[in-house]
Amino acid sequence: MAKYVFVTGGVVSGLGKGITASSLALLLKSRGYKVFMQKFDPYINVDPGTMSPFQHGEVFVTADGSETDLDLGHYERFIDEELNYTSNITTGKIYSSVIEKERRGDYLGATVQIVPHITNEIKNKVYEAGITSGADIVITEIGGTIGDIESQAFIEALRQIGNEKGKEDTFFVHTTLVPFIYGSDELKTKPTQHSVIELRSLGIQPDMIVTRSPIALDNHLKSKIALYCSIPKEHIIDSVDVKNIYQIPINYYNQGADEIILEQFGMEKKKANLKEWKKLIDVTDNLDKEIEIALVGKYVELHDAYLSVAESLRHAGYKYHTKININWVDSEMLEQGADLKKVFKNTKGIIVPGGFGERGIEGMIKAITYARENDIPFLGICLGMQLAVIEFARNVCGIKEANSREFDDVCPEPVIDLMAEQKNIINMGGTLRLGNYDCRIQKGTLAYDDYKCEHIKERHRHRYEFNNEYREILEKKGLVFSGINEASNLVEIAELPGKKHFIGCQFHPEFKSRPTKCHPLFDSFIKASIK
Ligand code: GLN
């Protein structure tokens, strides 16, 4: 039977709850326990798939094709485990399921209510994650801030789980902000005290408080929080601001955070193996080179919209002891006539990541032309690959009207077209081509050099595909389709030989990159850019 750790947040959002949850999970895993992670998002959308990246940041796609919150990306990068549909639960999912059961008559005449029906559904999701994962410990993060109306049913469900299972099987971590007041130059614990009062009024007594602050709390402040919040002083864990998020697990480890959890669970404190992680920190703290990579997209104002791509670039940089400075290029600015030479003056590689809709497309295509003509290493991801193909068709093959049906429904030369299986779909949510699909790689190509094997699986999230009617003419002009999904004959990778590095993939490699193990496509892109 699994044990359950719950991570809540107080005072403000954006405290790094996801990183706290991931760090604790990493530490418990490093002691030889199987961990699984889960996030509750109290919004009414069934999943973030239909939300604008400006609202929500990137949508992280799991191997089983679930569209999930970006915190799951942190989880996977920290614990290096594949998560799945049980890992991201929203209010929308809970209510859909309860209403479906009600319509089926499953409740046998009962009046269906928030307590117990909604809370039971939430509790089942927690237990389901424990059972299906076979984990020793499941860590569940609750999105939002304590006191939000939206999250109340979730908090009530956790209270009930705590009550049912008791202290040996449940552990509550509450993360709060301890602000520094300039002038009097001191840290203030009052917001933490009030947040814990709020949490206790909902029936939950925290077992650990993680305090986010610009500097560490002294003994006196910890004693004060301990006294007001009825918690041992040692259970207050400093989470001081860091430059590099991968440092955080080590900071928690040094304060014994994972041992406190194991102690309460009555689990053996096996020796932690953090060798690989410490090696990573040593590398990230001592990067002795740097290069600029341009990321061209339309959501660049919000860097979280490209979180996994940015992380993947950094991971590949670590391998070469190189700091990656991202030049965030707004594709609309390129459209409006910005001087590309100036924009890319210091750029050593250009990446065009995924995206949806027509806005900014021509600017991305301009950037691709610039990369191809000036032989700047290029990596196109999903939309980026589709645009590289359009660019090649227009400017090398002379198919001037080449486009994607996504941007022009009546386009005469649809080199990118709607996938056949998408044609009769009406609902937008959860209906893209999602998750893992096979890809066969042709030997003797850049892609094969990268992966060093013929059969791979990568994660997808798209509705459009390369139109095979154009394959022959593009191949004749030199484009190589080096990766194919054989079941559907769908192009997965396209590359241009004779260049320093020019490759695009229909899938999203960024979801599989890890800080200690960068993804082969990012590896070769960064390697070429450094050269
Ligand atoms: N908009 C494109 C499609 O749906 C690309 C999607 C993406 O980049 N994730 O096919």
State residue 21's pLDDT score: 98
Element (H, E) at 480: strand 480-485
> Rounded to the nearest 5 degrees, what angle is found at the Cα of 248, between the Cα atoms of 51 and 231?
95
Distance CA 265, CA 3 (A): 7
CA 406 to ligand 1 center in whole angstroms: 9
406 lines ligand 1 (CB under 6 A): yes
508 part of the active site: yes
The pLDDT score that the predictor gives to residue 409 is: 92
- What CA–CA distance (Å, rounded) separates 133 from 215? 38
- pLDDT score of 428 more than 90: no
Give me the helix-helix angle, 119-133 and 152-165, nearest 10°.
60
- Going from the Cα of 355 to the center of ligand 1, the distance in angstroms, rounded, reads 6
d(CA 316, CA 501): 15
- Give SS3 for 224: helix
Both 195 and 248 in one domain: the answer is yes
pLDDT in tens, 351-372: 999 999 999 999 999 999 999 9
> Catalytic pick from 311, 413, 492, 510?
510
Any atom of ligand 1 within 6 Å of the Cβ of 354: yes
* CB of residue 462 inside a 6 A radius of ligand 1: yes
Backbone φ and ψ for 55, nearest 5 degrees, come out as -80, -40
> Ligand 1 atom closest to Cα of 461?
9
Q: Is the CB of 463 under 6 A from ligand 1?
A: yes
61 in ligand 1 pocket by Cβ < 6 Å?
A: no
Alpha-carbon distance 381 to 371, whole Å?
15
**pLDDT higher than 90, residue 164:** yes
Give the pLDDT confidence of 316-332 residue by residue, as tens digits. 999 999 999 999 999 99
Whether residues 245 and 291 share a domain: the answer is no
Residues 270 and 319 in one domain: no
List residues bridging with 460 in a β-sheet: 435
Whether 241 and 374 share a structural domain = no
CATH, residue 161: 3.40.50.300
- Phi-psi domain of 390 (left: phi exceeds 0; alpha: psi -120 through 50; beta: other): alpha
Question: Domain check: are 307 and 267 in the same one?
Answer: no
Structure tokens, 175:
């993360």
Residue-wise pLDDT tens digits, 123-147: 999 999 999 999 999 999 999 999 9
Shared-domain flag, residues 310 and 262: no
Residues 337 and 238 in one domain: no
Instruction: Let me know whether 305 and 230 are in one domain.
Output: no
**Among 25-29, 346-350, 423-427, which is the least confidently predicted range?**
423-427
Closest C-alpha residue for ligand 1 atom 8: 354
Residue where a domain stops, chosen among 235, 259, 279:
279
> Is there a single domain that holds both residue 344 and residue 268?
no
Ligand 1, atom nearest to 384 Cα: 8
Mean pLDDT, the chain, rounded, equals 96
Token digits for 180? Answer: 């520094």
Render pLDDT for 484-528 as a digit per residue (tens, 0 to 9). 999 999 999 999 999 999 999 999 999 999 999 999 999 999 999
Residue 472 and residue 380 share a domain: yes
From the CA of 460, how far away is ligand 1's center (Å)?
9
* CA 265–ligand 1 middle distance (angstroms): 45
Per-residue pLDDT tens over the stretch 36-81: 999 999 999 999 999 988 888 999 999 999 999 999 999 999 999 9
Residue 169 has pLDDT above 90, yes or no: yes
Could you tell me if the CB of 200 is within 6 A of ligand 1? Answer: no
Contact between residue 402 and residue 473 where contact means Cβ atoms under 8 Å apart = no
With a CB cutoff of 8 Å and minimum separation 6, the contacts of 409 are none
Query: Residue whose CA is closest, atom 9 of ligand 1?
Result: 354
SS3 of residue 168 by DSSP = coil
Binding site membership of 464 for ligand 1 (Cβ less than 6 Å): yes
Atom of ligand 1 nearest to the CA of 508: 9
- Residue 354 Cα, ligand 1 centroid: separation in angstroms? 6
pLDDT of 337: 86
Is the CB of 348 inside a 6 Å radius of any atom of ligand 1? no
Residue 390: pLDDT over 90? yes
Residue bearing the CA closest to ligand 1, atom 3: 462
Cβ-in-10-Å burial (0-12, 13-18, 19+) of 243 comes to exposed
**Cβ(162)–Cβ(188) under 8 Å?**
no
Q: How far is the CA of 146 from the centre of ligand 1 (A)?
A: 36
Residue-number span of the structural domain to which 219 is assigned: 3-279
Q: State the distance from the centre of ligand 1 to the C-alpha of 29, rounded, in angstroms.
A: 35
DSSP 517: B
Q: What percent of the chain has pLDDT over 90?
A: 95
Can you tell me the distance from the alpha carbon of 348 to that of 294, in angstroms, rounded to the nearest whole number? 8
Q: Which amino acid is at 416?
A: I
The dihedral through the CA atoms of 374, 375, 381, 382 has a sign that is: positive
Ligand 1 atom nearest to CA at 419: 10
- With tokens 């139109």, the residue in question is 467
Round to whole Å and give the CA distance between 484 and 465. Answer: 12
- Closest Cα to residue 380, out of 502, 468, 475, 520? 502
Domain edge (last residue) among 252, 279, 306:
279
Q: Is the CB of 356 under 6 A from ligand 1?
A: yes
Question: Same structural domain for residues 76 and 205?
Answer: yes
Q: Considering only CA atoms, which residue is closest to atom 6 of ligand 1?
A: 462
Q: Which two tokens stand for residue 191?
A: 């917001």
Give the burial string for 506-529 (b: 16+ CB within 10 Å, else e): bbbbbbbbbbeebbbbbbbbbbbb
Of the residues 279, 305, 337, the one at which a domain ends:
279
Where would I find the H helices in 134-229?
A: 152-165, 190-201, 219-229
Does the Cβ of 460 fall within 6 Å of ligand 1?
no
Task: Please compute the mean of the pLDDT values over residues 245-271 and round it to a whole number.
Answer: 97
For the chain, how many structural domains are there in total?
Answer: 2
Helix intervals (H) in 240-321: 248-254, 257-265, 275-285, 307-319
pLDDT tens for 79-103 read 999 999 999 999 999 999 999 999 9
Identify whether the C-beta of residue 361 lies closer than 8 Å to the C-beta of residue 407: yes
- CATH code (residue 461): 3.40.50.880
pLDDT of 14 above 90? no
240 and 320 belong to one structural domain: no
506 and 492 Cβ atoms separated by less than 8 Å: yes
Q: What average pLDDT does range 5-17 have in this prediction?
A: 93
- The whole-number pLDDT of residue 114 equals 97
| Secondary structure of 29-70 as H, E, C letters | HHCCCCEEEEEEECCCCCCHHHCCHHHHCCCEECCCCCEECC
- Selected catalytic residue, list 382, 397, 439, 505: 382
